[in-house]
Structure 1
Amino acid sequence: MKIGELAKLSGLAPSRIRFYEASGLIKSVGRKANGYRDYAPETEWILQIITGAQSAGFSLEEIRQLLPVNAQDWQQESMLIGLKRKVEEIEILQQRLAHNKAQLLRVIHGIESKPADVGCADNAQLLINQMREENDVTAK
C-alpha cells in the first residue's frame, strides 16, 4: 500500500510514517519502479501499537525494544517485563503528582485564607516555612 493510503488509514501524516521508518520502528519498505514506497498491510496495526504506546508514556526507544520486527518475533516475556516496568513508572509518577497537587492546594488555601492583618510578603514567607517543615517531616 502507498504511504498516502497508509496515512489515511492510520490517521498519521506521511512525514510521521517516514520518521517511524527511519527510526527503525517499522520495517523499511521496498520501492516500486515509480519510486513509491510499498507498505505491507500489517504496517497499519504496527503504527497503531506505536501511537498507543506513545500515548501510554513509552519513549520511542522503549517501543523499539518491545516491538518485534515482524509478527512472528513477538517475545511475550520481555514485553510483559517492559509493560510492568512502565506501570511501575506510572504509579511512581502518580504518587509524585498527587504530592505536588497536595502542596499546591495547601498554598492556594494559605493564600486564600490569609489574615487581613498579614501582608502578602509575610504570608508568602509563612507558606514557604510551612512547606519546608512539611518536607522535613516527610523526608525523615
Structure 2
Amino acid sequence: MRIGELAKISGLAPSRIRFYEASGLITSVARKANGYRDYAPDTQWVLHIITGAQAAGFSLEEIRQLMPMNASGWQHDQLLSGLKQKVEEIEVLQQRLAQNKAQLQLVIQGIEGKPVGVACADNAQMLINRLREQGVVGAAECRDVAR
C-alpha cells in the first residue's frame, strides 16, 4: 500500500511514517518504478505498536531495542523484561505524581482557607511553616510556595 493510504488508515502523517522508516522502526520499503513506496499490509500493525508504546512512555530507542523488524524476531525474554521495567518506571512516576498532587492540594487548602484579616504574605508564611512541620516541603520548595 502507498504512504497516503497507510497514513489515512493509521492516522499518522506521511512525514511521521517516513521518520519511523528512516529511524529503523519500520522496515524500509522498496520503491516502485514510479518512485512510490509500497508498504506491506502488516506495517499498519507495526505503526499501531509503535504509537501505543510511545503513549505508554517508551522512547523510540527503547521501542527500537524491543521490537523486531519481523514477526519471527521477537525476543520473548528481552521483551518481557523491557515491559516489566516500564511498568516499574510508571509506578514510580505515579507515586511521585500522587505526592505532588497531595502537596498541591495542601497549598490550595492553605490559600483558600486564609483567615480573614491575614495578609497574603503572612498566610504564605503560615502555610510554609505548616508544610515544613508535616515534612512536605524542603527549603527549595518553600521559596517556590512563597512566590
- The two structures have a TM-score, normalised by structure 2, of 0.88
Q: What's 1:43 paired with? A: 43
Which secondary structure does the structure 2 equivalent of 1:135 belong to? coil
Q: How many aligned positions are there? A: 137
1:100 paired to 2:103: no
Listed as ranges, the matches of 1:76-87 within 5 Å are 76-87=76-87
Task: Tell me how far apart the structure 2 counterparts of residues 101 and 125 of structure 1 sit (CA, whole Å).
Answer: 20
Contact 2:10–2:48 (CA under 8 A) maintained in structure 1: yes
CA RMSD of aligned residues (A): 1.4
Which whole-Å deviations, capped at 9, do the CAs of 1:44-96 have from their partners, x for residues lacking one? 10000001111111111111111101111011110000000000000000000
Partner AA of 2:100 in structure 1: N
Partner of 2:114: 114
Alignment of 1:19-98 (within 5 A): 19-98=19-98
* AA at the equivalent of 1:120: C
Q: Distance in 1 between matches of 2:84 and 2:41?
A: 29
Aligned mates of 1:47, 1:72 — CA distance in 2: 17
Partner amino acid, structure 1, of 2:101: K
- Structure 1 CA distance for aligned equivalents of residues 108 and 121 of structure 2: 15
Q: TM-score, normalised by structure 1?
A: 0.92
Q: Letter of the aligned partner of 1:87 in structure 2?
A: V
Moved more, 1-10 or 81-90: 1-10
Tell me, in whole angstroms, the C-alpha distance in 2 between the residues paired with 1:44 and 1:84: 25
Give 1:3-18 correspondences, 5 Å limit: 3-18=3-18
Q: Separation in 2 of the partners of 1:24 and 1:48?
A: 15
Letter in 2 for 1:109: Q
Gaps of 5+ in 1: none
Of 55-64 and 124-133, the range deviating more from structure 2: 124-133
